[in-house]
Structure 1
């Protein structure tokens, strides 16, 4: 009976993951559309207002309640997280417009590799030769993606690269606060602090939305909240090593949307580099799990 329930839970976890990825992809397409017309800071601010309301509602309905969920032992780190993510989102939306949806996602796929690199100086983690090899291969893939066919480096590529590094830093800080704060507390501060932080800047970029774009903005707010909700549900029953490989489907969906909806072109370098980055990222996440379980005295499988 327990095994059946466990298998059913895992099946639900994979379903939640796929739902989150599909919704994230739709969200990216809408972000590119709106970011090409309106200031990305403004777009991100409206999205964050809805996200903050969702985070508060979710915290209020949790078992601990709003008061306990809002209690943190690492307030400064939660503030840092709250500022990092909206900054990264603005960079990503801008990148979708300047660099392209598919190309941006190909570079953002390197985030797990940057997390592994930053975990050494910031978390004191040790990285063995296998992960070093995977990181090296993955970074080689990034260089391949960044190398255009004509040999001239496009400086706009620094935007998604910077966004990937910033999100990796956000993940590292999240790992630090997770040692003392619950996942729900971190989610609460992600929404509330992020909304407060971007609201200090966003009003300076306020513009009037066209009536039809209010519909797109509403859909962006809905996708922004629901995608995170399904991802949270997925992580309740699945390990990161099970979720991470599926998240790379977002790159596939981004490539399809980029080509069919936004007339983007997929280069040989981008596709080849993406394969290396994804393979290295999956191996890195899997190897981290193996090492963590070994240290805990658990079997690797």
Structure 2
């Protein structure tokens, strides 16, 4: 989570000077090279390219690159803490969508947790108080895209493996980002090349750490640690950019995190279970 937060700080610097598509294109091409190498070691690229859900793989890959692009754009207008405070609602959105689309039983406690998280989002946005910024809708849109991405990933993962999922995400992301990245290309300085390189390599490193963590602990145990990203974002935003969220943003973020952790800790219920 610290690496992810650091990535967003670099993105916030780059997005002030460059089109989002430019550095996302570099990220995805390096990611594609890694995915091809990984697939080669795991049984071959041809085998990894076999999928039972080609259209769903295309959809989830588009959602992935779209979410990254939308969130990166939001960093141009909002601070790290504000962006992550709003984005932190995505697990609750994913839970609600799983109930509505996949028919998964959610239970009253998880719906209550979603309501608490939604209340926290309203506290951050403060509609009707003259403080609402349209830019706040950008990280919320990214959160929705990421929630749908998680939903589609859950569907395809029933038959497609990790290597296949990674290969399609890298390949589709590289193609789509290149279409827009080449049109917006402007030559970076040596220092900016360095930042783009760090951004690309650290993205792969962070995902490898996440995969390694999942080898040692169940996803349910690790999920609450995702909220440490918000803490790291606040600290980096303060140290690097001199930004610190106001009191209402802190209160709203606390509600979002509390709702998310409560939803994660709530037991899975059946229709015959006591609430």
TM-score interval, normalised by the smaller of the two chains = over 0.9
Q: State the TM-score, normalizing by the size of structure 2.
A: 0.94
| Partner of residue 192 from structure 1, selected from 147, 171, 174 | 171
Tell me the residue number matched to 1:232: 211
Q: Which whole-Å deviations, capped at 9, do the CAs of 1:130-162 have from their partners, x for residues lacking one? A: 011000001000111112896331111010110
Assess if the C-alpha contact under 8 Å between 1:112 and 1:285 holds in 2: no
Alpha-carbon distance in 2 for matches of 1:197, 1:34: 20
- Count of matched residue pairs: 271
Assess if the C-alpha contact under 8 Å between 1:81 and 1:190 holds in 2: yes
| Partner of residue 268 from structure 2, selected from 291, 294, 299 | 291
Alpha-carbon distance in 1 for matches of 2:127, 2:26: 35
1:224 positional shift: 1.0
| Partner of residue 100 from structure 2, selected from 112, 117, 121 | 121
Q: Does 1:44 align with 2:24?
A: yes
Q: State the TM-score, normalizing by the size of structure 1.
A: 0.86
Alpha-carbon distance in 2 for matches of 1:279, 1:55: 36
Assess if the C-alpha contact under 8 Å between 1:149 and 1:269 holds in 2: no
Q: Which moved more, 1:130-139 or 1:114-123?
A: 114-123
Alpha-carbon distance in 1 for matches of 2:263, 2:245: 26
Assess if the C-alpha contact under 8 Å between 2:117 and 2:257 holds in 1: yes
Q: CA RMSD in A?
A: 1.8
Alpha-carbon distance in 2 for matches of 1:53, 1:284: 37
SS of structure 1 residue aligned to 2:176: helix
Tell me the residue number matched to 2:36: 56
Cα 1:246/1:76, change in 2 over 3 Å: same
Cα 1:266/1:45, change in 2 over 3 Å: same
Q: Does 1:65 align with 2:40?
A: no
Gapped runs of 5+ residues in structure 2? none
Q: Does 1:180 align with 2:159?
A: yes
Q: Does 1:111 align with 2:93?
A: no
SS of structure 1 residue aligned to 2:268: helix
Tell me the residue number matched to 2:183: 204
Tell me the residue number matched to 1:75: 54
1:265 positional shift: 2.9
Q: Which whole-Å deviations, capped at 9, do the CAs of 1:253-293 have from their partners, x for residues lacking one? A: 10011112112131111111111111111222333xx428x
